[in-house]
Amino acid sequence: MIILSVNAGSSSLKFTGFEMPSEDVLISGVFERIGIDNSFYTIKLNGEKIRKEVELANHSVAVGFLTKELLENNIVESLDEIKGVGHRIVQGADKFDKTVVIDERVLETISDLSPLAPLHNPAAVVGIKAFREFMPNATHTAVFDTAFHQTMPEEAYLYALPYEWYTDYAVRRYGAHGTSHKFVSIRAAEILGNKDSKIVVCHLGNGGSLSAVLNGKCIDTSMGFTPNAGVVMGSRCGDIDASILPYIMKVTGMTPDEVDTAINKKSGLLGISGVSSDSRDVEMGAEEGNKRCILAQKLYARRVIEYIAKYYCILGGIDMICFTAGIGENSCATRKSIIDGLKVYGIKLDEEANKTRGEEIMISTKDSTIPCYVIPTNEELMIARDTYNLSMDK
């Protein structure tokens, strides 16, 4: 059975085609600059990358080119062979706690939630409509970034704000990266050989979030009402004193939109280092002795350490700490800083193993009290698995 995992952005469309249940990747790629000049797409097939310059007026045109590639490269003989299409949706709020088959009610709800994710949900709706146009017989599913975190208890997801802000305006912690946290925590439980386990997942990329997973269910996560909360990120500030914002607006005359841009696009590693939002550039600067880069790295590691320590108490211990996503999978220096900061728990770093990048490996020593692993995430595969299961149920 062929399943497509897709992620529609406002001007992009990523896709991966899987043969299920073997989970073999058949084709993948991305359409870029949709609705903008100089649009193009890249596909990866049999280990070869192919780039094509085409005019992509809208997402429907992009899906049309995708179907053409599927047919011409003999991925399918007919589009009816594609039994399921899984759509990544950023915001499902508290309306969805799992992947669901898309019907008109689900589509309308995703659209209604657009104020909570104005850059993402509207684009997802456009993508869903385009794929349903070309593949009407496939099972279309919505896989929500927020769904995995819906098992958090009230005391974890509520803010100590006027309660009416929650009931009337939906202000609460939603979290993000849920599909990644789910994939990694499932793999961690497999490694442990125990579904009833206490796992901390550190999804560290340009955006970053941690989750505390108890017996397969998320009981806390670092991101909040928006993806800005939690740990330091590439250009996002993470947790701050909220009163800083009106103060800065008063003393500088900045507008709410300008402040929002500052905390989302000019803060984090970029704001502290003054060099870049890319951790690789910051690491390089630190190695060269740039004091602000060194500070940025220390601040970054400290915030992650603080969350792991908090989750140790909330979970009542930890059976495994997992590092994933771009920084978590590839930044040996960042992992070392974090693990060194957890020595009080009896955690010990295997220096040699920690040199590995992008591969699943235990990076703690055998006598470490808590095993620490690098587990590469695969959100596309998680989407395909959920969609395959729902397709089989129909």
Report the alpha-carbon distance of residue 116 to residue 89 in Å, rounded: 12
DSSP 167-208: HHH--S---S-HHHHHHHHHHHHHHHT-SS-EEEEEEESSSE
Residues in the chain: 394
Please tell me whether residue 290 adopts helix, strand or coil conformation.
coil
- By the 10 Å C-beta count (0-12 exposed, 13-18 middle, 19+ buried), 151 is classed as middle
CB contact at 8 A, 185 and 322: yes
Report the alpha-carbon distance of residue 242 to residue 224 in Å, rounded: 13
Q: Is 145 a catalytic residue?
A: yes
Annotated catalytic residue within 145, 220, 319, 386? 145
Bond before 21 cis per omega within 30 degrees:
yes
Report the alpha-carbon distance of residue 139 to residue 364 in Å, rounded: 42
CB contact at 8 A, 104 and 130: no
Biggest alpha carbon–alpha carbon distance for the chain: 64
Angle between helices 121-134 and 104-112 (to 10 degrees): 160
Active site residues: 145
